[in-house]
A and B are shown apart, each in its own frame.
Chain A
Amino acid sequence: MRTSVHRRTRVLVVLLLATFGLSCVGSSASAATISIELCAVTGTAPLPGGGTVPIWGFGIPAATGDCSSATASLPGPQLAVDQGDLVTITVRNALPPGHAVSFEIPGVTFDPGPADAAPGAAVSRSFTAGRPGTYLYQSGGNAGRQEAMGLSGALLVRSSVPGQAYGTPGTAYDVEAVLVLMAIDPAFNAAPDTFDLQNYRATYWLINGKGYPNTTPISAAAGQRVLLRYLNAGYDNTSMTLLGTHQQVVARDARLLTNAFPAGTETIPAGATEDTVVTVPAGSPPSSHGFPLYNRQLHLTNGPQTGTSPTPATGGGMLTFIQP
């Protein structure tokens, strides 16, 4: 879990824009030009309960243009830009031969240009981050196998209004938590090119690449507003239950809802993103760990299940807590 107390510096610009009733900064003089370089590389990811699994993941190279200096992460690095920024993402393909990277960010229209990067090649995609929100970036190559191997991550476009995810009072927050939801079948990861996907059966259920108890709790004090940015990078529509309070669903797929609503359990479709705001209650949480946030489809296990009870008995899978 990546949590950060939100800070903004371009207040003056925001005030100026607000005066003119503008919601999109477009080509405003404040817009920064952002260049991001990603490598699609092979690597490994630690599994909850021990061991590792081979992955294909995005990494940021330490030395420009040198993917040998990049480490694949699960999920990919969290990218954050400001609304209005002119963004260029260069993706270098260091995957094994036969795997063209097809970079995409659903909900973002790239400037015209090449779409794919062959192995050893790079592709640059440019766009203006016109609308704030939570976006999932990914490689759609090999008919979904690349996503299943881990080639996805979060792109946050921060609104021009400080502390408001979508520039509206209803999307104001004090604490931000990004939750990339995904699943892993190690048997697939071991043979990503040849595995029969009809036999795909996930055994690990992860938030930001981690299964409980390794997930990072979300720290927030009573009364604080927590922005939960869900990104479903898995293959399954995922229902997440928050015990002890409702979460206000404010946006779906990086678009503000006109009819925001409170949900106890929210189902995030595969490939979709959602933003919810939770005001941390003042009372005691149901658990000594805090307010549980967990996968209601009972994906609360880690790895193969061979006993008479699901394991680990102390809890696993897609589970974390909001800790006051």
Chain B
Amino acid sequence: MTRRTMPRFRRVMVALALAGGVAVPASLHASALPPDAPPIGMICTPGTVAGSTHTFNLVAKSGTIDTPDGNSVFMWSYANADAPDNGHFQSPGPVLCATQGQTVVVHLSNTLPEATSIVFPGQDATVTATGGTPGLLTTEVATSGTVTYTFVAGQPGTYLYESGSDVVKQVEMGLTGALVIRPALGADYAYDTGTRFDPAREYLLLLSDIDPDLHHAVEVGATYDVNTLRNRYFAINGREFPDTIQDNGSALLPNQPYGSLVRIQPNTATNARPALVRMINVGAVNHPFHPHGNHTRQIAQDGRLIASTEHFGETIGSGQTEDYLLRWDDQDNWDPATNPLPVAQPNYRNLFFKDGNTWYSGSPYLGSKGTLPVGTTSQNLCGEWYFPLHSHALNEFTNFDQGFGGMGTLLRVDPPGGCFGSPTSTGLIGATLKSGAVTALGLADGTYYQVNPKTTTRPTATTAAQTSITVASAAGFPTSGPYFVRVDNEILQVTAGQGTTTWTVARGQLGTTAAGHVTGSTLTALATDWYGAFGGVPAGSQNLKVLYKGRNCGVTTTATCPVLPSNFPQQTVKVCNWTIAGAGGCSNATSTGWTTLPAPPAQPQAVGSTDLSSTWTLPGPADAYIGTGSYKGQIRVLVHTQRFTPTAPVAFSTWGDLMKIVYDAP
């Protein structure tokens, strides 16, 4: 193997990326993935589909992989000759996916210095070879030649493909890959109707082992003795831990595009489907694989359903495949407030933090974060759990005999529904605090964050015709855009002078009649506008959900909540889109950045003195709603409530009980 200085630099980058809790920018991604490839989970190579024929173009070639200890290992592998990869070297070979019944055509061109081939173990249909020459196990292609293999995708399942030529050398050198056949039933079924899984949680763990001395001998044309084979690297999807937990397509690993972080959430009534973990052992030794945290249910072996059994350790033989359904049921619902653990939590002095780093949140509760020792850097985002998922042949859980490394990855369990957060601060941008603090919004516990409409006074009397008025204070009123205020039974619209104490107003608005008002009259805003701000949301988060629960009460003074019998205040909950007008776009009640949360439920909603709880979902990337720069990681949620009764205006007060966000952290 060759030692290089580059990998050390690469290690530093990894450390920085981890410390920052950020993903590598997409623009740095290696090319060897489809453009819409998700950062985690199995990725199918698209190929070309024409009718019922699915065609892949592969090229056998040499290249290098990086290992976490700074080595670079010479490999042979299959590359995807189609765009966007255009033959970019990758290890292992591209994941080939086809649907049961499709005719699979694999064109293989050979740039290696010796004849090579592909065999498809587990395909019971005849594999027809076109071109090439007969070899020991299958039809081979000489250097610079091409051969085409054609077969009808048989029973659904997880399979491998690999070299059938000079097998001892070529399989060891890395000429292997995964072949997944999906049932005609649908892509979210592994086999039959009993094997439906969450398609967002489909994982591939392809196990392999590497003796770098042998690879080096092949690289330089030296002799080697396969009888002395000693594996030093043990990979999952071509990477060794901790590289295994990097995203798919990480630019840090340009020739190893496939990550193997397994990520699940506790199953709920609305998310009842398990994850699917497809395992393949392309190595030359059997690997005992051990998931921590929960049993996994083995459903199939070698692409065939078997009597289903649960395991926390299962040996996967050389050349074998096994499929598992993995689910997490939060049976006990431990909660620090309502259902605490019945045992004492460990003293953190007894916990070990590797190099001052930890995945631990500081709290044993899923979705909670706690206190960690001073100086510890937690990679934990929102109280998610991490469990090792690794070979229990512990010499394989190493990189060149140093642990931990090698054939290991992490099982990450996110809180139910995703990460969730509560506001860390509030902003009154068209309201006055009546009582309560931001902490009242953290729990649905009947303690309220209460705000009243903003008020000010007229130092002088007002005539019915007057269109320019001065007020005692403009603080808390919108600084831009037209807005309404009420004096006695008349509504005025402020059309100019916002943000100053001299307002240009239109009189007798909203069906009221212009009238005179005495000195010292109170001007009251028709609406309350306030926001809760959430901190620490990582860039790259997705599927943001906003939950708000609150009520409106009939007066602005009492500690109890008088009933509003009719004409309920209209509530509109908005989120700050930082991309519309930057940081200033959400600074006051009429800023352009506030974006009404999309139905369902439709807005505005009529909210009386009974708490109303609503959840809005913003599917896809949440980056527009996550602040950057000075507002890095901040999400703002605005509650706008307005009420006007034409004949007899009545005061109201807005009470928030719970404001929460839920999101998929990267």
| Chain A positions near chain B (C-beta within 8 angstroms) | 201-203, 237, 239, 241, 243-246, 259, 261-267, 281, 283-284, 286-289, 292, 294, 296-298, 300-301, 304-310, 313-315
Contact of B217 with A239 in the complex, beta carbons under 8 Å:
no
Are A261 and B307 in contact (CB-based, < 8 A)? yes
Q: Is the CB of A259 within 8 A of B227?
A: no
Kindly state the separation between the CA atoms of A241 and B138 in the bound complex, as whole angstroms.
14
Docked pose: A305 CA to B229 CA in angstroms: 11
**What separation, in Å, do the CA atoms of A237 and B318 have in the docked complex?**
10
B2 close to chain A: CB less than 8 A: no
Considering the complex, give the chain B residue whose CB is closest to the CB of A185: B227
Q: Mark B92-130, 1 if CB is under 8 A from A, else 0.
A: 000000000000000000000010000101111111100
**A239 and B124 alpha carbons, distance in the complex (Å):** 19
Docked-complex contact B226 and A301, CB < 8 angstroms? yes
Residues of B within 8 A of A201 (CB): 227-228
- Given that A246-B124, A261-B304, A300-B167 are known contacts, is A314 also in contact with B318, CB under 8 Å in the complex? no
CB distance from B660 to the nearest CB of A (A): 47
Interchain residue pairs with CB less than 8 A apart (30): A201-B227, A239-B317, A243-B137, A243-B164, A244-B123, A244-B126, A261-B307, A263-B301, A264-B122, A264-B302, A264-B319, A286-B127, A286-B164, A287-B138, A289-B136, A294-B167, A298-B168, A298-B226, A301-B168, A304-B225, A305-B225, A305-B226, A308-B217, A308-B222, A309-B114, A309-B169, A310-B168, A310-B226, A315-B136, A315-B137
Docked-complex contact B317 and A298, CB < 8 angstroms: no
B residues near A (Cβ < 8 Å) are 114, 119, 121-128, 134-138, 159, 164, 166-169, 171-172, 217-218, 221-228, 284-286, 301-304, 306-307, 315, 317-321
A246 to B301, CA, bound (A): 11
A292 to B124, CA, bound (A): 13
Distance of A245 Cα from B125 Cα, bound (Å): 8
A267 partner, pick from B114, B122, B137, B318, beta carbons under 8 A: B318
Query: Is A239 in contact with B226, judged by CB distance below 8 angstroms?
Result: no
Collect the chain A residues with CB atoms within 8 Å of residue B166's CB. 309-310, 313
B interface, over-half SS: loop
Q: Identify B126's interface contact among A283, A292, A305, CB under 8 A.
A: A283
Which chain A residue has the least Cβ–Cβ distance from B136? A315
Residues of B within 8 A of A267 (CB): 286, 315, 317-318, 320
Q: Which of A243, A281, A309, A310 meets B119, CB within 8 Å?
A: A243
B227 adjacent to A203 (CB under 8 Å): yes
Contact present for A296 and B136 (CB under 8 Å): no
Contacts of A307 in B (CB 8 A): 223
Is A259's CB under 8 angstroms from B122's CB?
no
B121 engages A264 (CB within 8 Å): yes
| Bound Cα distance A246, B157 (Å) | 13
Q: How far is the CA of A284 from the CA of B130 in the complex (A)?
A: 13
Which of chain B's residues have a CB closer than 8 A to the CB of A298?
167-168, 171-172, 226, 284
Q: Is the CB of B119 within 8 A of A265?
A: no
Chain A nearest CB from B144 CB (Å) reads: 19
From A246, A296, A306, contact of B304 by CB (8 A): A246
CB neighbours of B171 from chain A (8 A): 298
Q: How far is the CA of A159 from the CA of B613 in the complex (A)?
A: 71
**A196: min CB distance to chain B, Å:** 16
Query: Are the CB atoms of B317 and A237 closer together than 8 Å?
Result: yes
Since A266-B317, A306-B225 are in contact, a sample of 11 more A-B pairs with Cβ atoms closer than 8 Å, ordered by chain A residue number, is A239-B286, A241-B121, A246-B302, A264-B303, A265-B317, A265-B319, A267-B320, A286-B164, A298-B171, A298-B284, A306-B223
Chain B residues closer than 8 Å to A264, beta-carbon distance: 121-122, 159, 302-303, 319-321
* Residues on the A chain within 8 Å of B224, using CB: 305, 308
Contacts of A309 in B (CB 8 A): 114, 166, 169
Taking a contact as CB atoms under 8 Å apart, the answer to whether B302 and A262 are in contact is yes
Give chain B residues whose Cβ lies under 8 Å from the Cβ of A281.
124, 126
Q: In the complex, which residue of chain A has the Cβ closest to the Cβ of B129?
A: A286
Q: Which residue of A lies closest to B225 (CB)?
A: A305
- Tell me whether B320 and A237 are in contact (CB under 8 A): no
CB of B68, distance to nearest CB on chain A (Å): 25
Q: How near does chain B come to A285, taking the closest CB pair, in angstroms?
A: 8
